[in-house]
């Protein structure tokens, strides 16, 4: 059997919500350095349940690692809300995959020392056994568990067993929107200390923005392994290379001594001496009541109080004020190393711990969240631990790479959705400069209204929140504590909130559930209004409400599933123009497409036979599963940029561009500005200038060199591009790294020249369709796009499908050909009967150049259609694309703020964006000219009388809709072109608001003209 541990009264530890741990050591923030790593290859067995008999044979497995990602029969399972098993709440299922890990190690020279086992994380219940003896139990899949194993060690070889039970009562409060796994995703090691040791360490490094001075309070908890803290020990602390050490004696543990009560009849021969002056005990209440006492009486009162209530032994507090320090912020994350030493009575340093402190103050004043007295934008993302090959096993290199990418894309905040991350992640956030909302490992999405009021889970709520706070309290990057996610709101939250407010009053609390039903309520559990996926109107309504009293910071918004994140610019326009709105956290950072085989074929819910599942809802990131940025991330980078252009086009043509510094603490001296004039034929030469030293929140001008001004006033100039680069290296980027591209658009002149006398003929067939040897399909009306994940949202009630436009039948109603012109009327009848009328007038400018004037009437019954435009296809061979419009990356009507105006080139294949579930992709907005080129130098040129939405691809919408994964697609040799006068925006309707009405296509009459040149 795996273990003999029981919770109580015969309860199994994995089926006892009241049990959070057994023999687990308290959480702390001391980095004990004397370690023996146990990562590597372990023996492993996967059992059907925690009481199942073991087999005789073992296999090998990696630790850290998840057995669900290492070839076992227990595969990953994705659900968003529903529990992945069928069992009555709050019990686990009978079939319960259980991993038994075994490892042998040789004890070091640890005689007379305390030895502790550290397991970084285990999903979801951990049972520890050493040398055949049960040691303890831990729950919480995302925080470390430590066990004192001193008494269970043998000299020489030892055998350690870690049993990990996948499903438990804890699963009901770990019901997060992510893959379910089993295993040990973080490192395992043993560390040692003396028997008297540093048990905990808290450093509160405050910065007063008024005085510009810092203050440091260090609280050190010294413990003795098996008894009271002895006398003679000292704690010493200092900021490395900054100050002389401060030290204080460690108060020994003192016990309350109560004098014996006088026995009746015990009368000595002489009068006893008076030992308690009359009225002394009254001072125990007079002093705290504030009674008027003499100095002597106050001193006596303190002594009496210490005698009656001895202070805690081992607790040392050191304080230093009026320090000249450089404050910490996400923009300037300055850290100071601090040594804390435990000194034995002999003078020997028994233990030294080094941490880094950042002096900063976080507070809420009115409706503003302030850091060091200044309002900061929260330009954040939600982030899960995710790796496509390993699941949730994240290396330090991956963490550093991800955070560096976030910094380069101007993200300044991370919410650790929905559990505490590895401490190394917070170390990097301290160093790189990111604000962190540290979130407890609590989500009960499937049983939200029940768990938060269930007294059986009260201990788990307080345990998970308090352990997170105790572990992470010294990280300056942590600016708010979050009580968890999507777990309703109840007394268990208030209990956890009360503990945090008492233990750490220096940081605000965050919890969306407390305000979900009423944004004006929930003050006990949250200091910010942190809604999920609000509409713009809801944000305006709260901001303008007379009862609004807290800052609004969206915990989740701009859901980025597939081709999505439409309307992000609308949010930031509102944030930057409305007091009380301060930003939020985009959902989310990365797609969770798993690739356990390493073949590049990422998978989503259901691909492992996992039932029930929530399909592609885990594919909702700003970066792909491999970490490469999606187009939506460039939109965020632009909106989060440290600089805005605030001057008009006319000022640029006169020689100056006015910039606004959006930062709170830094000027722009660390940036370079590259100037480049975009023209009808392509970009001009680059001129590099140092950025003006505009102070935080201020404005200043870039004076343009005469050569740039001269180029701007040329008739072919369309825009001035300003590329911002780092002038110096940062920990997260090399010198010269690009962090933003801004533009001053000049506009593009009308692209269609006047038509002279037509000189050609119109080659139309009997259906009135334009034919040409270079076309494999003639220009026809286009009304349907391959549905995006947002289009498929249940909240849209199959609106696009109800239009019937997924299948249309064209019939020719009238055709008149007169010399060089042709006029035709066609009816496009949708699958459910709606009819769209299309009138087309074609003029043959020459035998190879045709001008097409389009009129389309959309009937009232079609309230919302995907697209309206023209599509045609070329013969094979047209592989190169040049366009005049927005680029270089994919843009759509409600996600194009980051698009740059200019001339761009690409191959057809490079235009595509490989969203894991195939859907509409690769569009470019505001295009007025398109040139397709074949290897034979044949060209097809399209010009339009107004900007259109362009899509060029080797796939048709039906090809995309008929595939479940992008790697199943089979490109066709033809090139398919879509030129949409109007295209529905992307929105975020998969989870959140639909496309804004300004970007929807309604019934009505539409007109436009375009020209097609074939030659």
Task: Output the 3-class SS for 131-199.
Answer: CCEEEEEEECCCCCEEEECHHHCCCCEEEEEEEEECCCHHHHHEECCEEECCEECCCEEEEEECCEEEE
Taking the C-alpha atoms of residue 781 and residue 810, their distance in angstroms, rounded to an integer, is: 9
For a pLDDT cut of 70, what percent of the chain falls above it? 99
Query: pLDDT tens digits for 810-819?
Result: 999 999 999 8
* Res 268: pLDDT: 80
* Res 254: pLDDT: 76
Query: pLDDT tens digits for 141-187?
Result: 999 999 999 999 999 999 999 999 999 999 999 999 999 999 999 99
* Res 266: pLDDT: 77
Q: For 460, phi and psi rounded to 5 degrees?
A: -65, -40
Q: For 304, phi and psi rounded to 5 degrees?
A: -65, -40
- From 286, 319, 49, 368, select the one nearest 204 (Cα to Cα): 319
For a pLDDT cut of 90, what percent of the chain falls above it? 91
* Token pair for 711: 């180029």
Residue located via tokens 């910071």: 553
- From 848, 853, 855, 840, select the one nearest 762 (Cα to Cα): 848
Query: pLDDT tens digits for 588-597?
Result: 999 999 999 9
What confidence category does residue 581 fall into, taking pLDDT thresholds of 50, 70 and 90? Answer: very high
* Confidence check: pLDDT of 257 > 70: no
Q: Which of 291-300, 320-329, 681-690 has the lowest mean pLDDT?
A: 291-300
* Confidence check: pLDDT of 884 > 80: yes
* Confidence check: pLDDT of 701 > 60: yes
Query: pLDDT tens digits for 344-371?
Result: 999 999 999 999 999 999 999 999 999 9
* Res 56: pLDDT: 92
Can you count the helices (H) and strands (E) in the chain? 15, 53
* Confidence check: pLDDT of 1 > 50: no
What confidence category does residue 759 fall into, taking pLDDT thresholds of 50, 70 and 90? Answer: confident
Q: Which residues of 230-265 are buried (b: 16+ CB within 10 A; e: fewer)?
A: beebbbbbbbeeeeeeeeeebbebeeeeeeeeeeee
**In terms of residues, how long is the chain?**
1015
Do 590 and 394 touch, CB atoms closer than 8 A?
Answer: no
Q: Report the greatest alpha carbon distance in the chain.
A: 142
What confidence category does residue 546 fall into, taking pLDDT thresholds of 50, 70 and 90? Answer: very high
Query: pLDDT tens digits for 456-497?
Result: 999 999 999 999 999 999 999 999 999 999 999 999 999 999
**Which whole number is the average pLDDT over 933-938?**
95
3-class DSSP assignment, residue 448 = helix
Q: End-to-end CA distance of the chain, in Å?
A: 79
**Which whole number is the average pLDDT over 229-251?**
91
Bridge partners of 159, per DSSP, are: 104
* Confidence check: pLDDT of 416 > 60: yes
Pick the more confident residue, 474 or 758: 474
The pLDDT mean for the chain works out to: 95
What confidence category does residue 273 fall into, taking pLDDT thresholds of 50, 70 and 90? Answer: confident
* Res 298: pLDDT: 87
Query: pLDDT tens digits for 822-862?
Result: 999 999 999 999 999 999 999 999 999 999 999 999 999 99
Q: For 465, phi and psi rounded to 5 degrees?
A: -70, -45
* Res 9: pLDDT: 64
* Confidence check: pLDDT of 275 > 80: no
Taking the C-alpha atoms of residue 704 and residue 689, their distance in angstroms, rounded to an integer, is: 9
* Confidence check: pLDDT of 2 > 60: no
């Amino acid at each position: 059997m795996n273990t003999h541990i029981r919770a109580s009264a015969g309860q199994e530890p994995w089926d006892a919500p009241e049990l959070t741990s057994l023999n687990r050591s308290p959480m702390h923030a001391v980095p004990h350095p004397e370690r023996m790593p146990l990562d590597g290859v372990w023996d492993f067995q996967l059992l059907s349940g925690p009481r199942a008999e073991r087999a005789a044979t073992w296999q090998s497995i990696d630790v850290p690692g998840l057995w669900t990602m290492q070839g076992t029969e227990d595969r990953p399972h994705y659900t968003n809300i529903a529990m992945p098993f069928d069992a009555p709440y709050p019990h686990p299922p009978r079939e319960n995959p259980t991993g038994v890990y075994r490892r042998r190690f040789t004890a070091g020279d640890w005689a007379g020392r305390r030895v502790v086992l550290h397991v970084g994380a285990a999903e979801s219940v951990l049972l520890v056994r050493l040398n055949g003896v049960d040691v303890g139990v831990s729950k919480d899949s995302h925080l470390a568990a430590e066990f004192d194993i001193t008494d269970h060690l043998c000299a020489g070889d030892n055998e350690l067993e870690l049993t990990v039970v996948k499903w438990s009562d804890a699963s009901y409060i770990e019901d997060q929107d992510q893959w379910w796994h089993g295993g040990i995703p973080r490192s395992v090691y043993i560390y040692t200390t003396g028997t008297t040791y540093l048990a905990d360490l808290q450093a509160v490094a405050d910065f007063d923005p008024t005085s510009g001075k810092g203050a440091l309070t260090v609280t050190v908890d010294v413990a003795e392994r098996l008894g009271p803290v002895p006398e003679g020990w000292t704690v010493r602390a200092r900021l490395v290379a900054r100050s002389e050490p401060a030290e204080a004696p460690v108060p020994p543990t003192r016990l309350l001594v109560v004098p014996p009560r006088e026995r009746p009849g015990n009368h000595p021969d002489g009068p006893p001496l008076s030992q308690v002056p009359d009225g002394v005990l009254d001072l125990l209440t007079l002093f705290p009541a504030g009674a008027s006492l003499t100095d002597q009486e106050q001193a006596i009162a303190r002594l009496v109080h210490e005698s009656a209530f001895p202070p805690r032994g081992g607790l040392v507090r050191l304080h230093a004020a009026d320090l000249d320090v450089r404050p910490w912020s996400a923009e300037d994350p300055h850290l100071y190393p601090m040594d804390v030493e435990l000194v034995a009575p002999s003078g020997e340093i028994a233990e030294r711990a080094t941490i880094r402190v950042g002096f900063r103050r976080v507070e809420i004043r009115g409706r503003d969240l302030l850091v060091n007295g200044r309002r900061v934008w929260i330009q954040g993302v939600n982030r899960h631990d995710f790796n496509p090959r390993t699941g949730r096993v994240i290396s330090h290199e991956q963490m550093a790479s991800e955070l560096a990418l976030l910094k380069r894309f101007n993200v300044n905040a991370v919410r650790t959705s929905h559990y505490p991350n590895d401490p190394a992640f917070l170390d990097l956030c301290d160093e790189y400069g990111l604000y962190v909302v540290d979130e407890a490992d609590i989500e009960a999405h499937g049983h939200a209204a029940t768990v938060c009021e269930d007294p059986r889970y009260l201990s788990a709520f307080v345990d998970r929140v308090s352990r997170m706070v105790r572990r992470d309290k010294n990280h300056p990057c942590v600016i708010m504590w979050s009580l968890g996610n999507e777990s309703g709101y109840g007394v268990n939250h208030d209990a956890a909130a009360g503990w945090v407010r008492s233990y750490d009053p220096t940081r605000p609390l965050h919890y969306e559930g407390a305000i979900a039903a009423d944004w004006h309520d929930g003050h006990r559990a949250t200091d910010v209004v942190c809604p999920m996926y609000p509409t713009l109107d809801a944000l305006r309504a709260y901001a303008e409400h007379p009862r609004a009293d807290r800052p609004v910071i969206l915990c989740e918004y701009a859901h980025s599933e597939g081709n999505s994140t439409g309307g992000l610019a609308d949010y930031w326009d509102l944030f930057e123009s409305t007091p009380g709105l301060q930003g939020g956290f985009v959902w989310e950072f990365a797609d969770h497409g798993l690739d356990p085989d390493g073949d590049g074929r990422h998978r989503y819910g259901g691909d492992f036979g996992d039932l029930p599942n929530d399909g592609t809802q885990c594919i909702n990131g700003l970066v792909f599963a491999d970490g490469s940025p999606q187009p939506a991330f460039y939109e965020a980078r632009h909106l989060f940029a440290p600089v805005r252009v605030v001057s008009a086009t006319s000022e640029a043509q006169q020689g100056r561009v006015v910039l606004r510094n959006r930062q709170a603490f830094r000027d722009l001296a660390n940036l370079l500005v590259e100037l480049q004039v975009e023209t009808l034929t392509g970009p001009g030469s680059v001129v590099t200038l140092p950025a003006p030293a505009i102070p935080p929140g201020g404005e200043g001008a870039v004076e343009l060199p005469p050569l740039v001004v001269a180029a701007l006033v040329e008739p072919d100039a369309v825009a001035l591009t300003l590329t911002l680069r780092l002038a110096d290296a940062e920990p997260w980027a090399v010198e010269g790294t690009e962090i933003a591209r801004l533009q001053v658009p000049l506009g593009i002149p009308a692209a269609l020249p006047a038509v002279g006398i037509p000189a050609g003929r119109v080659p139309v067939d009997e259906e009135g369709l334009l034919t040409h040897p270079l076309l494999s399909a003639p220009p026809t009306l286009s009304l349907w796009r391959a549905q995006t994940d947002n289009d498929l949202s249940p909240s849209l009630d199959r609106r696009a499908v109800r239009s019937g436009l997924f299948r249309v039948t064209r019939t020719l109603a009238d055709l008149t050909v007169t010399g060089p012109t042709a006029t035709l009327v066609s009816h496009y009848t949708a699958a459910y009967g709606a009819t769209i009328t299309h009138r087309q007038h074609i003029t043959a400018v020459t035998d190879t150049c045709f001008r097409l004037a389009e009129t389309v009437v959309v009937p009232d019954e079609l309230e919302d259609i995907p697209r309206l435009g023209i599509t045609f296809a070329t013969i094979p061979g047209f592989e190169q694309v040049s366009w005049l419009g927005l680029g270089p990356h994919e843009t759509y009507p409600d996600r194009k703020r980051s698009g740059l105006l200019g001339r761009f080139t690409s191959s057809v294949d490079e235009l595509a964006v490989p969203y894991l579930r195939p859907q509409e992709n690769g569009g470019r907005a505001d295009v007025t000219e398109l040139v397709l080129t074949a290897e034979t130098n044949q060209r097809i040129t399209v010009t339009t009388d107004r900007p259109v939405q362009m899509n060029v691809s080797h796939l048709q919408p039906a090809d995309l809709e008929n595939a479940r994964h992008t790697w199943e697609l089979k490109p066709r040799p033809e090139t398919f072109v879509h030129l949409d006068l109007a295209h529905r925006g992307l929105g975020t309707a998969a989870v959140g608001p639909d496309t804004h009405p300004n970007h929807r296509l309604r019934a009505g009459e539409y007109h436009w003209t375009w020209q097609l040149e074939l030659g």
